[in-house]
Amino acid sequence: MGFKKNMLRFEEQLSDVDSEPDAKPPILLRFPFLHLPSEIRLRIYHYVLFTPTRKSASKPTGSVGSSAKKGKPLAPSSHRIALFRVSRQIHDEATHYFYSTQIFRVFPVQDFLRMPTIRALPRRHRPSITTIELIVGSSWTAPPKSWIVNQGLGLHDMELVRTLKVFVQCDPSQPAFEGFRKSKDYYTDFCGKLLHQILERLPGLVQVEFDAWPSVEKNGSLMTRLLTETRDAQKKVLWGPDRGWTDTQNDIHEKNDFNDVDAAFDGLRAYSSDIVEALSNSLQTVRLES
């Protein structure tokens, strides 16, 4: 009975509202958003750009390097586009904030990361980028022909880039790759020249951060060459969190904690499917270290 009485009372209130004369629509005042301090505006941009509405949006799509693991979950594209279209000033501030907080790859690798590489970015947004990442190890017998450093790569437009992250998936100079690689030094020379050309085109670069998969040796041929190129270019060397290297660590895998099987496994993960089966079969013949 109490429920029915409440419903009747609610309906009476509605009828009273309907019988009142039409109220004047409220006057909407414009909020002075652009008068807010820039720090607060950036916080609002961050909320709009990086607040996903679905749980699946927060799942990373890539699996290699900082560009995949450290990427921020994105808000729906409709939210981002709506923000960019509010006004010219908000567009410029929001897009600069968006591109300056992302890590963009120099070249693509096969881990299905949806973020575009630097070559695919509109030229007008390249000056906002502050961090890029070079991932080496993919297709170590035949690097893609598109992996070249030229004017079209757009490095000369990236005046704010201060950090280059280098992630090494595998080192083909290790014995496990014998019989599959072109030569012991082929991929080492390829990566060394690639890094040298990138460093030449980034005059504002301050530091290079190195990281790798478990089998890569800090004192191996590939890492030694990459470190030499970096130090010759007078850039500061940093160490990424995954591998755990330090300035004083000699590496050599802590007295052979890793062996040729680990190296071959990393080679499998870093390569396309056309050589996976052959290299996988070779694991059966690799001598395990005692």
Output the pLDDT for position 211: 97
Output the pLDDT for position 288: 44
Output the pLDDT for position 70: 59
d(CA 182, CA 180): 7
Per residue in 199-257, pLDDT tens? 999 989 999 999 999 989 999 999 999 999 999 999 999 999 998 899 886 655 444 45
Which H or E run contains 3?
helix 2-19
Output the pLDDT for position 268: 65
Contact criterion met (CB below 8 Å) for 33 and 87 = no
Output the pLDDT for position 78: 87
Closest Cα partner for 133 from 178, 102, 87?
A: 102
Output the pLDDT for position 270: 74
Output the pLDDT for position 173: 92
Output the pLDDT for position 53: 76
pTM over 0.85: no
Q: Which residues of the chain have pLDDT under 70?
A: 1-25, 27-28, 54-61, 70-72, 249-261, 264-265, 268, 271-290
Output the pLDDT for position 273: 47
Output the pLDDT for position 274: 43
Output the pLDDT for position 52: 83
Output the pLDDT for position 241: 93
Q: Count other Cβ atoms within 10 Å, centred on residue 135.
A: 25
Sign of the C-alpha dihedral computed for residues 16, 17, 22 and 27 taken in this order:
positive
